[in-house]
Amino acid sequence: MPKKVLLLQAFFKKEFILFRRYFLNSLGGMLTLYIIFLLVMGGFQGVSALTGVGGNTVEGLVVGYVLWLFMLSTYQDVSHTVRREAQEGTLEQLYMSAHGFGWVMGAKVVAGFFTNLIVVSVLLMAALLTTGVRLNLDLMSLLPLLIGTLLGSVGIGFAIGGITLILKRIDSYTQMVQFLLIALVAAPAGRVLWMRLLPCSYGSVLIAQVMVGKENLVDLGLGNVATMFLVGIVHLFLGYGIYKACERKAMLAGMLGHY
């Protein structure tokens, strides 16, 4: 079996073991996220009643919340891994891997994607049952769009992870990224052309068109999907480039393995 497949298999096994061993903690996290959704939903309905807002905007709220959650989980898979490994003093061991640090983090992201997909799917079903709305769950169209959209959040995770290598403690600022991701999901990239260059924003619009607008990849157009992937790849490489620059500075300063 190729070494890279073994690496990916090892991370899948690790994710499964951690989820099973700390199931109650995982369940508690899912319940917390569901309660947050209920609070957001209650606040939205209250504002709608006061202002007379109508229409099917609840569908957009569900899609936006679930997509934000997926982006947040993907971003944290990268940035929190780097921070945790640095805190535990095991970061240098990842660099000594025969696969190289880039491949190790890539395998972590892929394994985390499927783990997060399960969690997000459960929360999506709970949100649909709670609100009673119906969405178009076309997996053949949604999976490619999700991958293209999440490339941007992976890039953000690498950039924040790189900054963490140098500054060590930036928790106050990393919490702000959660609100940044909300802004990226809510950005009207479908109407404002330059916003399509922002990470994750255009993908969020295309996903909403599929889930709420009942469209598919053919309806979206190959050009729009290709643009989303191109923007995502650019942000991924930019984020990884920032990480490598910070990594080089940390190595020269001799503080890569110190926290």
pLDDT in tens, 118-142: 888 888 898 888 888 888 888 899 9
- Classify residue 215: in a domain, yes or no: yes
So what's the pLDDT on residue 55?
39
Distance of alpha carbon 72 from alpha carbon 52, whole angstroms? 32
Q: Residue 238 is encoded by which pair of tokens? A: 């930019």
- Letter for the amino acid at 259? Y
Among 30-34, 143-147, 182-186, the range scoring the smallest mean pLDDT is: 30-34
- Across the chain, mean pLDDT equals 82
So what's the pLDDT on residue 46?
45
- Classify residue 44: in a domain, yes or no: yes
- Residue labelled with tokens 């709420």: 212
Query: Taking a C-beta distance cutoff of 8 angstroms, is the pair 61, 41 a contact?
Result: yes
Count how many Cα atoms sit within 13 Å of the Cα of residue 213 in the half-sphere of its side chain: 14
pTM: 0.84
Query: Taking a C-beta distance cutoff of 8 angstroms, is the pair 69, 123 a contact?
Result: yes
- Classify residue 62: in a domain, yes or no: yes
- What percent of the chain clears pLDDT 90, i.e. is strictly above it? 18
- Sign, CA dihedral 98-101-102-105, equals positive
So what's the pLDDT on residue 234?
96
- Classify residue 119: in a domain, yes or no: yes
**Mean pLDDT computed over 59-71:** 87
- What percent of the chain clears pLDDT 70, i.e. is strictly above it? 92
What's the pLDDT tens digit per position in 208-241? 899 988 888 888 888 999 999 999 999 999 999 9
- Classify residue 229: in a domain, yes or no: yes
CA proximity to 224, closest of 142, 145, 152, 139: 145
So what's the pLDDT on residue 40?
75
What's the pLDDT tens digit per position in 22-49? 778 778 878 888 888 877 776 655 444 4
Q: How far is CA 119 from CA 24, 54, 70, in A?
A: 14, 30, 9
The total domain count for the chain is 1
Ordered DSSP codes for 100-116? -HHHHHHHHHHHHHHHH
- Classify residue 257: in a domain, yes or no: no
So what's the pLDDT on residue 258?
60
Full domain range(s) for residue 207:
3-252
So what's the pLDDT on residue 154?
92
- Classify residue 259: in a domain, yes or no: no
So what's the pLDDT on residue 14?
82
- Classify residue 258: in a domain, yes or no: no
What's the pLDDT tens digit per position in 195-212? 889 999 999 999 989 998
- Residue labelled with tokens 């929190």: 80
